[in-house]
Each structure stands twice: as C-alpha cells, then as structure tokens.
Amino acid sequence: MATITIDGNVFEVENNLTIIQAARNNGIDIPHFCWHPQLSVAGNCRMCLVEVEKMPKLVIACSTQVANGMIVHTKNPRVIQARQAVMEFLLINHPLDCPICDEAGECKLQDYAYAHSIGYSRFEEEKVHKPKRVELGAHVMLDTERCIMCSRCVRFCDEIAGKPQLTFTQRGDHVELTTFPGEKLDNPYSMNVIDICPVGALTSRDFRFKARVWEMSATETICPGCARGCNMNTWVRNNEILRQTPRYNPDVNQSWMCDWGRLETLRQVNSDARIRGPLMKKDTGVVEVGWDEAVVRVSSELKSFRKGEIAVLGSAFDTNEDNYALQRFAREVLQTRNLDFKRHEAPGQEDRLLISSDRTPNTRGAVEVGLHPGEHGANVEAIVRGIREGSIKSLLLVDDNLAADAAIAQILSRLEFLVVLASVENETTRLADIVLPTSTYAEKNGTFTNLQGRVQRIRPSVATLDQDRALDGFAMSRLDKLGSQFDRWAKGAKRDARPTWRIIAGIALLMGGRFKYQTAEDVFADIASHVDAFSGMSYRRIGNKGMLLKSGKEMRVHQPA
Ligand code: SF4
Ligand code: SF4
C-alpha cells in the first residue's frame, strides 16, 4: 500500500494504481477524455494533467503510478491553466454544433467546456473542415470534424472486440479517423464505440436525430437477447423505446453489449404485430374479447379435459416469476406432468466476449423454478409426440412460436384446444383457439437468471393498460419522479397485455387455485421461500447488480486473447 495526498487529503491506496485510478477510487474525478477504465492507457488527450510535488513538469494522471509519500494537486492554478489550454486547443477546430448533435446533454466535451475552459475563443481563423457524414459501418456514423482523436474507439476494436478495424490517417490538425482500407466497422460489438466516444463524433444510425437525451427517461434492466443477460438501460420517450445502451456490471458485461441485443430485442416491443387484447376463435372467425370472457373460457375448456390430456409449455423468454406461477398452475391446478419448455440453442453463434449460444435470457431460471417434467413427466418431444398420437388433446403454450416449424404447426392443428400466451402475432397464435396478450421484457417487473446463475432484475419502461407497474414499489418511486409524463403514457398505452404470472393466477383462481399474488415481487417472495437456490433473495437484495443462485457458479467474462 502507498500513502498519497490528493488536494490535501491523505489516502491509503494500492501500489499498482495510477493517480487517476487512486483518485477515482476515493471519489475524486480528474477530467479525462482518452482514458477509459476498461481500455489500455493512451495518454494522448493531456486533459488529466496534475501537479506532483518534486516533479518538474505537470504529469498525466492516467499513466503515472502512485508512490508512497506522493503529493498530488488536481486543481491548483497551474493545473487549471493547463486544463484550460488543452480545452482551448481541442475547441479550435471543433465545429461547436451542439444544437444539432446527438451527444449534447451527455457529452464530455460540452460538460468540460463549461467546467474547465476559459469560456470564449481567441481563434478567429477558418477552422479545418472534414467530412461530416461518414458511414463507418451498418450501425455507426462518423462526423470527422467532431473527433478529438482520443483513440478510445480504436482501442475498443483492438482490445475488446478483438477486431482491429479503425485507425487514424494524416497528420496534425488534418488527422482523421477511418476504417482500414477495404474494411467496415462491422464487428458484433461495433456500437459500443458510440457509448465510449467522449464527443458526438460517433453516432448511432438507428437512433440518430430521433430525440434529445433530456427528453427520454432511462430504466435499468436486462437484455433479453441471450443467456448472458447484459445489464442495460432502455431509453423511452412517449411510451416508445428509442435506444438501449449498456449498463456497467463488472460481473456480467463490464461496459459492453452486442449490437444485436441493443437493436433487435426492442423490435418486439415496438412491433406493429403486437397483440392488443385477448383474441378468441368463434364461428364467425377470430374476434377481440375482454379479459373476463377469455379467462372464463380458458378455465372452463381446461376443466373439460382429463389431467393427462393437458400439456403446458412455458418459455425461457419469460421471467422466473412467470415460469414459477406457470409450473405451480400445471402441478397444483391442472395436476399434469406434461410440463416443459423449448430450448433455443444455436451452437457456434457464441463468442469469447459476451454472446451466448443460448438465445434466451432465462433457461437457467426456468429449470431452477421447476419448469420441467420431473422424473415421470413428458418433455417437449414427448408432448409433441402425445399431440400427434392423440393422447394430449389440449395445450397451454407460453411465449414461444413453436408453429414456426411447419411440421410442428401441422401437429398442433390436431389439438382440440390450444391456448397461446404471446406478445406478437405469429404462426402459433394463428392456430390458437384463444390468444392472451403478454407483456414484453420492457413492460413488466421480474427477474431473469443468466448463464452464470446470476438473478437479475428487469423493470418496466413502457406502459401497458395493465397495472403491474403502478403496484410495484420501485416503479412508484420512478413514477413520482416522472410525474405527469407517466400519466400521458398510461393514457396513451394501447396494449392490453399482462405478465404471464398474472394471467395464470387469474385462470388458476377460476379453477380453484389460490395464487394470492398482487405484484411480481409477491411471486418472487414465494419463489425465495420455496426454491432453495433462491432462498434469502429479495428484489431489494438483488438490487442493480444481481445475486448469484445458491447453486450458481460465477464465471469470468471472457476476453479475446
Ligand atoms: S471518434 Fe470519438 S472515440 Fe474515436 S477517436 Fe474520435 S473522439 Fe475518440
Ligand atoms: S450478448 Fe446477449 S445479453 Fe448481451 S447484449 Fe448481446 S444478446 Fe443481449
């Protein structure tokens, strides 16, 4: 350990830290552009200059290691003057187009211009002009004039994505960021460069010019795109998700997420094919009905079959709460052993950084909460066989498009009664006698258990007509903050979707089940008191970083060599 003094305060710090790390660990922020905690040190922006007593010149805090007895000044007149000079140089050629820049409101250069520059420009000459709309790849646009050459994006591609695709050309104030000749920025993690760019040089082609950042609210949740369960924020304006960005969790995804998870998972939420309310097949065709009518019909139809004639298929796309309620319903109310869910493994699609071959967010959790046939029950294959052979006559199927496979679709069409819980129209909903619309990951509270066995919270960012959101303690505190904005959303929300656990609890009630759940948190409390692996857990304890199952084994986030 080393004893160092920063701005008059004495700290005990690890010997192997740099000044910027030691300061940060002790709550002192030293301004910086090129330094990033997950990247190598470049030391090129000079913004983190500090004075160390007995050293003749100012030093950069990002690459100077602490030493015992070191006395550091981060805001004395000499340091402040140096910082102002760096800002003045950076702004000489900067276009200052904040009013039309996507980064405005979350831009380091803008923030530092207020905090650390002299407040006016002495530069009267013509600025150097460079290309302003360069398509670096399918998802990332470069405004070359805004780039301050910090090299964060270059280092990200080299060191994290493991795909060197970006570099600098030219010299002096004509330096430009570019891709290597003939290359595109097309690695599966390319959009992370947008998040770490400290200015508005790199922008998302998907989100570009859609909203100013202060018009949106951010909700801390989990990507449902694969079993990694990357932590992310969903950004919403007027009840529509406009972008998703990674949220730091050192145990899961560090600061990164893949482009697919960022862009594709939100499409189901905003989809035109969303089911707006319960649907029922009648003699006249498929008609929209109310929840009461739909649930009464489901319960009375299910009652007309014998135990062994009914099967239940849940979903690894659903939460622990959804699947726990579903397996209770199957075991306690329907008393069927035909209970399972379909796995979605895509061997070969995984990589060494984050992407998992399990394309669902909650396979581990589904098994842990009991969504499996047990020793003598029927699994997915046996259920499909049973339907084909006629021994299984009725199926309750949740959030999985089994009929996307034409052969399976033909088998499902033999069922006497098919009830499907789904959020978007698909081949399976078209076969169903009754469709009950489910909330997506962005519209409900709950938990996913990732491939490490880490239980993580999802939270609603988009309103449906369902009241789950308003009943949840966490959501209420957010609502208080959002105030009238939420009222507008709730009134504007058109989808009458509900979380699976709530739909199942409603059906169970009509069939003699006693599921006394008001909120997703109630279901989770039931899980924690009945499933060993979850014992001791609560939403409060899970917090923002998640909690490992008792049986969970933590695995390190792999980095490319
Ligand atoms: S584009 Fe952004 S991240 Fe890349 S070098 Fe320029 S300022 Fe840095
Ligand atoms: S790696 Fe998986 S969890 Fe992470 S962002 Fe991609 S799809 Fe989502």
Of the residues 132, 133, 135, 150, which should be mutated to test ligand 1's pocket, given the most ligand atoms within 8 Å of the CB? 150
What is the side-by-side strand order in the sheet with 446-449?
A: 446-449, 454-458, 547-548
Residue 311 CB neighbours (<10 A) = 29
Per-residue confidence (pLDDT) for residue 474, from 0 to 100? 41
Tokens representing 531 are 């499933």
Q: Would the pLDDT of 67 be above 80? A: yes
Give the pLDDT confidence of 300-327 residue by residue, as tens digits.
Answer: 999 999 999 999 999 999 999 999 999 9
Measured in Å, residue 243 CA sits from the centre of ligand 1 at 21
Q: For residue 496, give the nearest of 285, 245, 290 by alpha carbon.
A: 290
How many whole angstroms separate alpha carbon 511 and alpha carbon 304?
Answer: 11
Using a 6 Å CB cutoff, which residues line ligand 1? 147-153, 177, 197-199, 201-202
Report residue 375's pLDDT band, with 50, 70 and 90 as the boundaries: confident
Per-residue confidence (pLDDT) for residue 167, from 0 to 100? 98
Report residue 343's pLDDT band, with 50, 70 and 90 as the boundaries: very high
Name the helix (H) or strand (E) containing 409.
Answer: helix 406-412
Among 36-50, 195-209, 219-233, 458-472, which stretch is predicted with the lowest mean pLDDT? 458-472
Contact 12, 2 (CB under 8 A): yes
Of the residues 147, 179, 195, which should be mutated to test ligand 1's pocket, given the most ligand atoms within 8 Å of the CB? 147
Number of H helices, E strands in the chain: 19, 23
Of the residues 222, 317, 349, 354, which should be mutated to test ligand 2's pocket, given the most ligand atoms within 8 Å of the CB? 354
Q: Would the pLDDT of 245 be above 70? A: yes
Return the residue whose CA atom lies nearest to atom 3 of ligand 1: 197
Q: Which residues contact 348 (CB under 8 A, 6 or more apart)?
A: 357
- Closest ligand by atom to 35 CA: 1
How many whole angstroms separate alpha carbon 149 and alpha carbon 45?
Answer: 8
Return the residue whose CA atom lies nearest to atom 6 of ligand 1: 147
> Strand 202-204 and strand 217-222: pairing?
unpaired
> Strand 140-142 and strand 202-204: pairing?
antiparallel
Measured in Å, residue 149 CA sits from the centre of ligand 1 at 5
Q: Would the pLDDT of 264 be above 90? A: yes
Residue 284 CB neighbours (<10 A) = 6
How many whole angstroms separate alpha carbon 161 and alpha carbon 137?
Answer: 15
Q: Would the pLDDT of 294 be above 70? A: yes
Q: Is the CB of 246 under 6 A from ligand 2?
A: no
Q: For residue 230, give the nearest of 462, 458, 38 by alpha carbon.
A: 458
Measured in Å, residue 316 CA sits from the centre of ligand 2 at 15
Measured in Å, residue 131 CA sits from the centre of ligand 1 at 14
How many whole angstroms separate alpha carbon 471 and alpha carbon 473?
Answer: 6
Q: For residue 115, give the nearest of 154, 137, 84, 146 by alpha carbon.
A: 84
Percent pLDDT > 70 in the chain is 93
> Strand 339-341 and strand 310-314: pairing?
parallel
Measured in Å, residue 257 CA sits from the centre of ligand 2 at 6
Report residue 489's pLDDT band, with 50, 70 and 90 as the boundaries: low
Annotate 418-435 with DSSP letters as a single string.
EEEEESB--HHHHH-SEE
Among 86-90, 165-169, 285-289, 486-490, which stretch is predicted with the lowest mean pLDDT? 486-490
Measured in Å, residue 154 CA sits from the centre of ligand 1 at 8
Q: Would the pLDDT of 470 be above 60? A: no
- Closest ligand by atom to 255 CA: 2
- Closest ligand by atom to 178 CA: 1
Q: Would the pLDDT of 248 be above 70? A: yes
Per-residue confidence (pLDDT) for residue 465, from 0 to 100? 87
Rg (CA), the chain: 27
How many whole angstroms separate alpha carbon 144 and alpha carbon 130?
Answer: 6
Tokens representing 166 are 């970006």
Average pLDDT over residues 236-248: 96
Average pLDDT over residues 215-239: 97
Burial class (CB in 10 A: 0-12, 13-18, 19+), 427: middle
For the chain, give the mean pLDDT: 93
Give the pLDDT confidence of 402-440 residue by residue, as tens digits.
Answer: 999 999 999 999 999 999 999 999 999 999 999 999 999
How many whole angstroms separate alpha carbon 403 and alpha carbon 408?
Answer: 5
Of the residues 189, 232, 255, 355, which should be mutated to test ligand 2's pocket, given the most ligand atoms within 8 Å of the CB? 355
Among 32-46, 134-148, 450-464, 480-494, which stretch is predicted with the lowest mean pLDDT? 480-494
Q: Is the CB of 257 under 6 A from ligand 2?
A: yes
Distances 217 to 107, 460, 479 between C-alpha atoms, Å: 17, 12, 11
Measured in Å, residue 370 CA sits from the centre of ligand 2 at 25
How many whole angstroms separate alpha carbon 381 and alpha carbon 313?
Answer: 11
Residue 532 CB neighbours (<10 A) = 11
Name the helix (H) or strand (E) containing 13.
Answer: strand 9-13
Q: Which residues contact 284 (CB under 8 A, 6 or more apart)?
A: none
**In the chain, what are the domains?**
2-92 (3.10.20.740), 279-548 (3.40.50.740)
